[in-house]
Amino acid sequence: MVCAFGVGAAAQSSPSSAATSAPAAPKATRLDLLRGAYGEDRANNDLISYHLDIRVDPEKKYISGKNTIRFKMLKDGNRLHLDLNEALKIDRILLGTTALKYERDSGAVFVNFPETLNAGQTYAIDFYYSGNPVEIGRFGSITFKRDPAGHPWINTACEETGASMWWPNKDQWHDEVENMEISVAVPSGLMDVSNGKFIGKTDLGDGYTRWDWKVQYPINNYDVSLNIGNYEHFGDKLGDLPLDFYALPEDLDKAKRQFAQAKGMIEAYQHYFGEYPFMKDGYKLIEVPYSGMEHQSAVTYGNHFANGYLERDWTGVGISPRFDFIIIHESGHEWFGNAVSAADRSDMWIHEGWTTYLESLYVEYMWGHDDAIKYISGYKAKVKDERPIISARGVNATPPQDQYFKGILFLNTLRSVVNDDAKWWALLHDFYQHFKYQNIMTEDVVAYFNTYTGMNLTPIFNQYLRHTAIPTLELKFDESKGTVAYRWKADEVGFAMPVRVGAADKWQIVDATTKWKTMATAGLGKKDFGVATDLYYIDVSRE
């Protein structure tokens, strides 16, 4: 499916206000453009489905098989831009029985059709490939490991590097298939756990067994996952939602204890946003040898079966040790990242800023507002403010880690700006429901929030997302008159944001802008005059 907001040429330029203060992005290379641009040979078609049908040989670290790619032409054309890492061999690409010609340019594969494909028509090609994929990136993309007992343990996690590191697809964020079949043949005795609903397994009679999975919703390429190992399965239900858990036999007891947190997590997120997004596919947690990843309906888990993040207090304020960070964070992506997806990596804060905010919603649901605010404020120490959290578009750019930390602090700020919790909860729910199963850009988020609240939140979104610095509330006291002058110092032209000031037990909301205004301090001196910096992520200067 294609995203709601066009990431075509018109959307490539950033708003003019951002252009003046944002540092120049590193110049995109030809390879960045090849990987990240939604060019003509990608834009001329709309994905319908994939059927990835492969065999994985653990001993040879070898994959072979095909992806059947169904798509609808949006324009007449005779060329498609697909992707497959150059370490893998293309065996053949067929349209029916016709072998198609193709050209490779690093990871790009340009498939040429002998006749024009017509706009509005649906086509399917079979893309056969084989080879030894390379391990690259934070989690290796695809790794051929062994579990502690010596059985093969093969897992994929390829968000950063792209799914085309191990299988052929249209490797970009703009367009998703509407559904997908995943068939994986592995040596009999091993199991493959992939995304979607388990359809069945078939003994192929040659020492291999094929595991078939069906994804019944749109899915990001990088969410498509293999987890091949000597897994044990146990199951549960939350209402009609099947919960399926997979762990190594030696970890089964620990998994049964720790994975029990999944129910409370799903209940919390359902409370705020509505039904779990992938009901027909179910929810799975699968043990893996790396920390974890939000693979759609098949969340992978490697957090040592302990609370916190890799046994640490993640935000350092004593709240994180109450829950398993990987279960809470990676599963939050089912709502933001997997159901609501960004249409370009540049706007990945829609995944990470939102999901980090979901952590605090979980805390609020479980332990109340004060603990949520404490948890959120714990993230301040992690923010670096080195560059804007929205990166250059169309070049497969990775935003800085601030997209997580500044993202949660910004959304908490926005709640204070809306200043009406009933409205805020309704807005979060309706925003999610409106955009679920779509690929969107920040402009879509801002337009929805502006319309819903009747406020002009655009300068606030821009300041936090498109500039490096956060706004500073400048205060100038005149103690002889008992007044304070206040204004915002911000990069964004026309920046205005109400803020709570004065006495902490009875905050007063002032409509601060970039122009000086004056208020009485009601007897509070320079040291006692407070600013609600737990509710707004801002700097304050006093003189």
Given the rule CB under 5 A, which residues bind Zn ion? 352, 355
**CB nearer Zn ion, residue 355 or residue 521:** 355
Distance, in Å, from the CA atom of 350 to the CA atom of 189, rounded to the nearest integer, reads 40
**CB nearer Zn ion, residue 348 or residue 538:** 348
Give the CA radius of gyration of the chain: 25
In the complex, minimum distance from the CB of residue 362 to Zn ion, in angstroms, rounded to a whole number: 14
Q: What are phi and psi of 46, to 5 degrees?
A: -125, 120
Distance, in Å, from the CA atom of 302 to the CA atom of 247, rounded to the nearest integer, reads 10
In the complex, minimum distance from the CB of residue 293 to Zn ion, in angstroms, rounded to a whole number: 8
Strand partners, 55: 64, 185
Distance, in Å, from the CA atom of 279 to the CA atom of 282, rounded to the nearest integer, reads 5
Distance, in Å, from the CA atom of 306 to the CA atom of 228, rounded to the nearest integer, reads 23
In the complex, minimum distance from the CB of residue 259 to Zn ion, in angstroms, rounded to a whole number: 19
Specify the residue for token string 């819903």: 452
**CB nearer Zn ion, residue 38 or residue 432:** 432
**CB nearer Zn ion, residue 53 or residue 352:** 352
Of 497, 501, 522, 525, the closest CA to residue 511 belongs to 497
In the complex, minimum distance from the CB of residue 352 to Zn ion, in angstroms, rounded to a whole number: 5
Fill in the DSSP letter of residue 256: H
In the complex, minimum distance from the CB of residue 83 to Zn ion, in angstroms, rounded to a whole number: 23
Token pair, residue 101, equals 């010609």
**CB nearer Zn ion, residue 357 or residue 495:** 357
**C-beta separation of 152 from 111 below 8 A:** no
**C-beta separation of 123 from 100 below 8 A:** no
Distance, in Å, from the CA atom of 439 to the CA atom of 2, rounded to the nearest integer, reads 7
List C-alpha distances in Å: 189 to 147, 211, 233, 453.
14, 12, 14, 56
In the complex, minimum distance from the CB of residue 330 to Zn ion, in angstroms, rounded to a whole number: 7
List C-alpha distances in Å: 281 to 198, 199, 237.
8, 10, 13
**CB nearer Zn ion, residue 192 or residue 352:** 352
**C-beta separation of 200 from 212 below 8 A:** yes
In the complex, minimum distance from the CB of residue 294 to Zn ion, in angstroms, rounded to a whole number: 6
In the complex, minimum distance from the CB of residue 60 to Zn ion, in angstroms, rounded to a whole number: 33
Token pair, residue 146, equals 């062994």
Of 238, 269, 463, the closest CA to residue 360 belongs to 269
In the complex, minimum distance from the CB of residue 340 to Zn ion, in angstroms, rounded to a whole number: 13
**CB nearer Zn ion, residue 171 or residue 352:** 352
